Amino acid sequence: MNNAADGYDALSWVDISRRIDPVYLAQIKRHSVVDSIASTNDWAMLQFKEGETPAVCFSEQQTQGRGRNGRDWVSPKTQNIYMSLAWSFALKPENLHALSLVVGVVIVQLLKQYGINAQLKWPNDVLVRGKKIAGVLLESRIGVKKNLNVVIGIGLNIEMNSALGKKIDRQWTDMSREIGSKKSICRNKIAGILLTRLLQACENYGRLGFGAYKDAWKSYDICRHAELEITTSDGVVRGKGLGISDNGALRVMLNGQEKIFYAADVSIRVKQ
Ligand code: BTN
């Protein structure tokens, strides 16, 4: 187990759970805080088989961390957060995709509490000054009772070791760099706040949908008015971002016509 002698405080359920709102803490049926795991998302998906959800897993390290669109998520054992929550929704699959946008809002609002102004690149890349600070990976399956079993995986950079960060093929940052303080950031506290907000968001989303989060998402949107490059299974297209639709899809002006995307890899083109 990690300890202060290793140079950082270990994640611990005792320390995380005392930061979780008791109303939400009481809902959690299973939790796991481990030193190392292939992917916290895999652990979370398994919990549906046992019927023990909501369930949450935190790990100090992931040996096979996954990102969106088949990418790896570099998950060194330093001081980041890797967590997954398993939650079952009584929703149809077509009503699920805005949930990933809601999770982005949750992370941006958490960062704001620490004085960090982050933005969102559709659907849920969390960026600070154009550099990625957090990512969200949702994986879902239809359950036996036709409910939608969803795993929400979050990777949040807290204090990434620069040498290990070189493995990341995109510009990145972390909370410590953005706060600019040598004072150590308490991961257990961040984990507790993040989990409380996430549980709250899942409950709200199940009842009310995207509506309660849409305006917030729009206020953090960096794709609106930007020149975008959009990669889908059909190829690559370029157009201007028009914002998001009421159900969280990406609206883009392509050759004078508005087109809607529900799934795509988006990058922002920098004007030469
Ligand atoms: C992205 O590509 O932006 C999504 C990254 C998601 C990473 C998190 S870390 C915890 C969870 N487990 C994984 O294997 N992936 C997600």
Dist. CA 155 → ligand 1 center (Å): 5
- Give the residue from 89, 95, 198 showing the smallest Cα distance to 152: 198
- Taking the chain (272 residues) in runs of 10, the rounded mean pLDDT of each run is 56 96 95 98 95 95 94 90 97 92 98 96 95 97 92 96 77 94 84 97 95 96 94 92 94 95 87 54
Task: Specify which residues 58 forms β-bridges with.
Answer: 33, 83
Q: Checking phi first, is residue 248 left (phi over 0); if not, alpha (psi -120 to 50) or beta? A: left
Q: Which pLDDT does position 162 carry in this prediction?
A: 74
CA of 136 to the centre of ligand 1 (A): 6
What's the pLDDT at 269? 79
- Give the whole-angstrom CA distance, residue 112 versus residue 118: 7
What residue type is 74 in one-letter code? V
Structure tokens at 112: 């704001």
Q: Which pLDDT score is estimated for 126?
A: 97
Please report, for residues 39, 74, 124, 271, the alpha-carbon distance to residue 71 in angstroms, rounded to integers and kept in the order given: 13, 9, 15, 26
* 57 Cβ below 6 A of ligand 1: no
Query: How many angstroms is it from 101 CA to the middle of ligand 1?
Result: 15
* Dist CA 13 CA 188 (whole Å): 8
What local confidence, expressed as pLDDT, does residue 1 receive? 40
In 3D space, the residue among 47, 8, 56, 50 whose CA is nearest the CA of residue 187 turns out to be: 8
State how far the Cα of 149 lies from the Cα of 158, in Å rounded to an integer. Answer: 29
Candidate from 11, 40, 43, 73 with most ligand 1 atoms within 8 A of CB, to mutate = 73
pTM of the model: 0.94
Instruction: Output the pLDDT for position 270.
Output: 66
Strand-pair partners of 155: 82, 135
pLDDT at site 160: 87
